[in-house]
Amino acid sequence: MSETEIAAHELEGHDKWHYIFDCGWHGLCPRCHEGKMFRSWLKLVDTCPTCGLNYDFAAPDDGPAFFSQCFVAFPLIFLVVWFQVKFAPPMWVHFVTSFPLMVLGCSLSLQPIKGWLVASQYVNKAQEAGTEHLWAQLNDRAASRVAEQTEV
């Protein structure tokens, strides 16, 4: 283990939260904090180009969409409803202001949220309860397939 990797797993409290948030927000590898986590907008790299961290552990699933709705969409909905009740603008005003704000806000927050979830999974060594044996079997199968393909 490198110094950065050891430090990432030994962080506590606020320092741990700040490290995870910083990795996710900037899309940096949670192990070395240097390599890029994403190869495109929401696609993770297979391995870190700097330290070689394998991202097979990362399974944020629907988390980014859920948190995007919680942090962006719901507050904006309350703002839009307040705006409608207070000023009663015509519908075209919402098409010009509310809908673009909602789409941009939710879309632009997806990558930082996904990065935050992946970094959280790595630093906290997160996995579903009771699946250690299953993950070990799946990783063994994947490794044997890769070995077979390289031999051919």
Q: Which amino acid is at 42?
A: L
93: β partners = none
pLDDT exceeds 60 at position 2: no
Domain ranges across the chain:
3-126
Q: Are the C-beta atoms of residues 32 and 40 closer than 8 Å to each other?
A: no
* pTM for the predicted model, two decimal places: 0.76
Average pLDDT on 42-63 reads: 92
What mean pLDDT is predicted for residues 79-91? 96
The pLDDT of residue 6: 47
C-alpha–C-alpha distance, residues 105 and 118, integer Å:
21
